[in-house]
Amino acid sequence: MHTKTAEFVSPKHPDKICDFIADSILDAYLALDPDSRVAVEVMGGHKAITISGEITSKATVDIKKVVADIVGTEYTINVFATKQSREIAQGVDIGGAGDQGIMIGHAFSETPNLMPLEYDLARDLCKKIYAKYPYDGKVQVTLEGTGVKTVVASFQNTKTEELEALVKSLISAEEYLINPAGVWTIGGFDADSGLSGRKIIIDNYGPEHQVGGGSFSGKDYTKVDRSAAYIARKIAVELLKEKSAKQVDVKLAYAIGKAEPVMAVALIDGKEMPIPAKYDLSPWGIKKYLRLDQVKFANTSQWGHFGNNFNWDN
């Protein structure tokens, strides 16, 4: 019997706040200049936020105001941003990828939103707890086969007995570990520092399944570690439905400055096949097919990038 575990964290977790800030900055630039090139990283904690990265845009955005509107005016906000380097830009200008990398997408028949069961259960539990306790928190779900063996839930500003009652009403398990280190009231940036792009596994499909390794938040579509991961998911979803498969895995790889991937394959229930030629896998083709110019990227940063009814999930 296969044992699997997945975790999830709330939007008030320090890393997720940083992801939200990064994508809010991206959205602010894209709203004024859809051709903006943005690649920013965010670190925050203990009344200080640091933004570092590369931004090339016709727009002028008050980054400090964007951040202060999210975290509050009591934070010291440091911005270290330059334009995209000429060497990178020369490849992107002709339609090439903004970086090399490997991107992987999956689709699974075991849940209605085509995500892994353990991941889906962990996210759903976290969402429902957060609806009542909108604070820093995290959960973990361990499966044995399709049965839930252990559930872990730790949420700020909760009474353990009340949180346990809520969790038990939401999911049945053999064992519950609720606030296992005790009740806690200091959370978020007051308790810990955060970094954008650090929750890669949560942003993808959980630890049981391959990811390419690139993070998503704070990056425009020319950074294929984001956009190509989205198209890989889209292709996996469409092939799963077309082939009535149990699982589809799509693997893409790019070279910086080149528009077409150097690898593009799909595994349908473990059998490898090339990606159908109808898909334009260039950065521009991905943007067009997934209508990325219509996406508010901050919406993708909080509850995982897949299985949330985004354009690449349908």
Residue 8, SS3?
strand
Judged against a pLDDT cut of 90, whether residue 89 lies above it is answered with: no
Confidence of residue 73 (pLDDT cuts 50, 70, 90): very high
Judge if 107 and 249 occupy the same domain. Answer: yes
Judged against a pLDDT cut of 90, whether residue 282 lies above it is answered with: yes
Judge if 156 and 175 occupy the same domain. Answer: yes
Assess if residue 314 is contained within a domain. no
Confidence of residue 15 (pLDDT cuts 50, 70, 90): very high
Assess if residue 195 is contained within a domain. no
Rounded Cα–Cα distance for residues 163 and 44 (Å): 28
pLDDT of residue 23: 98
Averaged pLDDT for residues 15-37: 97
Rounded Cα–Cα distance for residues 167 and 128 (Å): 9
Going by their DSSP bridges, the two strands 147-155 and 194-195 should be labelled as unpaired
Judge if 214 and 292 occupy the same domain. Answer: yes
Largest CA distance in the chain: 59
Q: What is the CATH number of the domain that holds 236?
A: 3.30.300.10
Per the CB < 8 A criterion, the answer to whether 236 and 243 are in contact is no
Judge if 295 and 216 occupy the same domain. Answer: yes
Averaged pLDDT for residues 276-288: 96
Confidence of residue 247 (pLDDT cuts 50, 70, 90): very high
Residue 291's domain spans which residues?
Answer: 101-112+203-305
Q: pTM value?
A: 0.96
* Tens digit of each residue's pLDDT (9 = 90 or more) over 197-246: 999 999 999 999 999 989 999 999 999 999 999 999 999 999 999 999 99
Per the CB < 8 A criterion, the answer to whether 259 and 105 are in contact is no
Q: Is the dihedral of CA 69, 70, 74, 78 positive or negative?
A: negative
pLDDT of residue 142: 98
Per the CB < 8 A criterion, the answer to whether 239 and 74 are in contact is no
pLDDT of residue 289: 97
pLDDT of residue 61: 97
How many domains does the chain divide into? 3
Judge if 218 and 294 occupy the same domain. Answer: yes
Judge if 29 and 82 occupy the same domain. Answer: yes
Mean of the per-residue pLDDT values of the chain: 96
pLDDT of residue 176: 98
* Tens digit of each residue's pLDDT (9 = 90 or more) over 108-167: 999 999 999 999 999 999 999 999 999 999 999 999 998 999 999 999 999 999 999 999
Averaged pLDDT for residues 285-289: 97
Q: 14, 80, 88: which is closest to 53 by C-alpha?
A: 80
Assess if residue 313 is contained within a domain. no
Confidence of residue 84 (pLDDT cuts 50, 70, 90): confident
Assess if residue 242 is contained within a domain. yes
Q: 40, 88, 36: which is closest to 58 by C-alpha?
A: 36
Judge if 300 and 212 occupy the same domain. Answer: yes
pLDDT of residue 92: 86
pLDDT of residue 213: 86
End-to-end CA distance of the chain: 31
